[in-house]
Structure 1
Amino acid sequence: MSPMSNRFNPADHDIRLLAAGRVTFASPAALERALPSLIEHAHAVPTGTLADVYRDVDADALLFVAAWRVVRFEAAERTVVDAIAHAIEPVRADASPAWIDVAVPGGAWTSGRSGPGECLVLVRQPLEKPNAIIQTSWIDKVLLALNGDAEPPDGLISANFFATHDEASVLNFARWTSADAHREALARGHYGQHDSIGASPLWRVTREHPGIRADHEVCRYEPVS
C-alpha cells in the first residue's frame, strides 16, 4: 500500500470525520527527533484512514491529522493520541501536546482556483461555551462573507470547516498557495480584535458573532509526510 494513497486532503468532500492534534516543542532539535515517528504513523494507518503530518512554518510545532470517510468516533481520538504520545516519548521534557480535537464537516468553500496549495492555514476558533448552534451559525456567516467578496483573497484556494464533537470549537482548514500569500492577505484585511482576511461588513459580522471568543489560533503549516 502506497503511503500517498492515504494522504489527508481537507477538500475531500467524502470525509465524514477527522481528528487533529497540535504539539509544541522547546527546540527545533526536539521537533526533529519526534518528526520521524509521526511520519511513520501517518504512513502506517490502515486502509480507509487518511493521515498527514504538518510542520508549523512559524514555530517549533507539528500537526497530526487523521480522517475517515465513515464515522468512527471510537477510533478517531485514539489514533491521534497514540501517534503523538509515541512520537514525543523520547523528548517528553521538551514537548507539550497543545490540543486534540475530533470534528465533523460543517461547510466548504472554494475559490475556483486550482493547485495543490503549498500552505495549510488552520484556524481554531473556540466558543465561549459549547454550543452546536453557534458552531453552525458562525460557519454559515464565514461562508457568507467569503461568497460576498467580489474577488477571493489572492492565494486562497479553498476553506473547509469542521465542528468539533465537543461543540467547543470550529476548525477551518484553508489551503493557500503559500505562507506569504496568507501573511499578505492578513496585512490587508486586519481589523480589530478578530483579525481576518476581509474587512467588509460581512466579515465584521463574523468577528462580532455572539458566542465566539476573541482569542483564537491561526497557524501556517507545510506538509512534511
Structure 2
Amino acid sequence: MAASGENVQLLGIVGSPFVCRVQIALKLKGVEYEFVEQTLGQKSELLLKYNPVHKKVPVLAHNEKPIAESLVILEYIDETWKSNPILPSEPYQRAMARFWSKFIDDKVVDTTWKSVFTVEEEEREKRIEELSEALQFLENELKDKFFGGEEFGFVDIAAVFVAFYVPLFQEIAGLHLFTAEKFPKLYDWSQDFLNHPVVKESLPPRDPLFAFFKGRYESLTASK
C-alpha cells in the first residue's frame, strides 16, 4: 500500500489494455492511486509534461516522477511495492517473463488489431494466421494454472489483452479463432484469470467498449 505522504497518479484512458495492466498490478499490490482520466484523441498538458517522448498513456507518476510504457511500469510497481510479487525471483524465470510479455506486445496485440481492422482481405487472412500461430506458442508455454504458477504474475497481467480483448474483437469481426477447442489450456487460463477478484475489479466495462469498437468496425467495412 502507498505509504503516507506518497503521491501516486495513473494517467490513463478507460478501456485501454495497457492501462488495464497497470490497474491490475496496483490493485494486486494494494496501492492507492489517483486515476487521472485522459480524453481519447487529445493530449493533456500533464500527459505531454510526463511523457513527452511517446505522448501516450499509461503514465504512472510516483511522487511526480513519471514512468511510461506499461511493461516498464509493471516492473517499477513490483520493485517499489514488495507485497504480492509479480516477477519471479529467479533470474532465468524473470528473463522468460520479460520475453513472453514482449512477445505478447509484438506478436499478439498489433496482429489482433490488424486481423480485425484491415480492409484488404489477403492482408487480413495473413494476420489471422499469424495470430493463431502466436496463440499456439502461448498455449504451449502455459504449464500451470497461470503463466506465473498457481498465482498470476507478470506474463498473466501482460496477457490481459489475450483474455479480455481478443474475444471482444473476434466477436465483433465474427472470427472463431480463440476458442476452447483450438486452445484448451489458454482458454481455461483466460477464464480463471478474468474471474480472479483482483482482475475482475480492474477490467473496464465490456458493453461500452464493445459498442465503441463495433462502430469502428462497421464504419470500416461499410467503406470497402
Structure with more helix by fraction: 2
Q: TM-score, normalised by structure 1?
A: 0.29
Compare CA radii of gyration and give the structure with the larger one.
2
Structure with more strand by fraction: 1
Bigger relative contact order, structure 1 or 2 (CA pairs below 8 A, ≥6 apart): 1
